[in-house]
Amino acid sequence: MTEQILELGSEIELVVLDAGFYSVDVINNFSTSLPVENIAILMENML
């Protein structure tokens, strides 16, 4: 039982990491196409 929970936990962790990297990629893509002021606004809205 414990092993299954640990396995599930590490899978969730990987998904969260993937989501984090994905959002960083998206922000980087935005930053190449948008002026800096817009990025600051986007970041504030996310937080």
Instruction: Note whether residue 42 is domain-resident.
Output: yes
Instruction: Specify the pLDDT at position 5.
Output: 80
Question: In the numeric block, which tokens belong to residue 34?
Answer: 């948008």
Instruction: Specify the pLDDT at position 11.
Output: 83
* CB distance 30 to 42 below 8 Å: yes
Q: What is the pTM of this model?
A: 0.38
Instruction: Note whether residue 41 is domain-resident.
Output: yes
- Give, for 33, the enclosing helix (H) or strand (E): helix 2-33
Q: Which domain holds residue 38?
A: 17-47
Query: In degrees rounded to 5, what are phi and psi of residue 16?
Result: -60, -45
Domain total for the chain?
A: 1
Per residue in 1-47, pLDDT (tens digit) is 788 888 888 887 878 778 777 777 777 776 676 666 776 777 788 77
**DSSP 3-state assignment of 35?**
coil
Identify the DSSP state of 34.
S
Instruction: Note whether residue 23 is domain-resident.
Output: yes
- What are the start-end ranges of the E strands in the chain? none
Instruction: Note whether residue 40 is domain-resident.
Output: yes
